[in-house]
Amino acid sequence: MKFILPFLLLSTLTVIGQKPSKEAWESMFNGKDLTGWTPKIRYAASGDNVKNTFRVVDGKLAVSYDQYDKFNEQFGHLFYNKKFSYYHIKLKYRFIGDQAKDGPGWAYRNSGIMIHGQSPESMGKDQDFPISIEVQLLGGNGKDKRPTCNLCTPGTNVEMNGKLFKPHCINSTSETYHGDQWVTAEVIVLGDSIVQHFANNKMVLSYQKPQIGGGNVSGQDIIYGSEGQLLTEGSISLQSESHPVEFKSIEILNLEGCMDPTASNYKTYYIKSKPSDCQYSKK
pLDDT of residue 214: 82
Q: CA 110, 198, 95: angle at the middle one, nearest 5?
A: 25
pLDDT value for 11: 44
pLDDT of residue 21: 93
283 residues of the chain, pLDDT tens digit each: 545 443 344 444 445 557 899 999 999 999 999 999 999 999 999 999 999 999 999 999 999 999 999 999 999 999 999 999 999 999 999 999 999 999 999 999 999 999 999 999 999 999 999 999 999 999 999 999 999 999 999 999 999 999 999 999 999 999 999 999 999 999 999 999 999 999 999 999 999 999 999 888 989 888 888 999 999 999 999 999 999 999 999 999 999 999 999 999 999 999 999 999 999 988 6
Residue 177: C-alpha distances to residues 134, 141, 204, 242 (Å): 19, 9, 14, 19
Q: What are the CA-CA distances from residue 33 to residues 36, 97, 194 (Å)?
A: 9, 22, 33
- For 81, 108, 109, 138, 154, the CA distances from 243, given in Å and listed in that order, are 24, 6, 6, 10, 19
Its pTM stands at 0.93
Find the length of the chain. 283
pLDDT for 116: 98
Residue 211 · residue 229 · CB < 8 Å: yes
CB atoms within 10 A of CB 262: 10
Under 8 Å between Cβ of 195 and 8: no
Report yes or no: 49 and 33 within 8 Å, Cβ to Cβ: no
Backbone angles phi, psi at 54, to 5 degrees: -100, 130
What pLDDT does 17 receive? 58
Q: What is the pLDDT of residue 13?
A: 47
Q: Write down the pLDDT at residue 22.
A: 94
Q: What is the pLDDT of residue 24?
A: 95
Which of 119, 185, 125, 95 shows the shortest CA–CA distance to 149? 185
Q: Set out the domains of the chain in order of their start, with CATH numbers.
A: 26-257 (2.60.120.560)
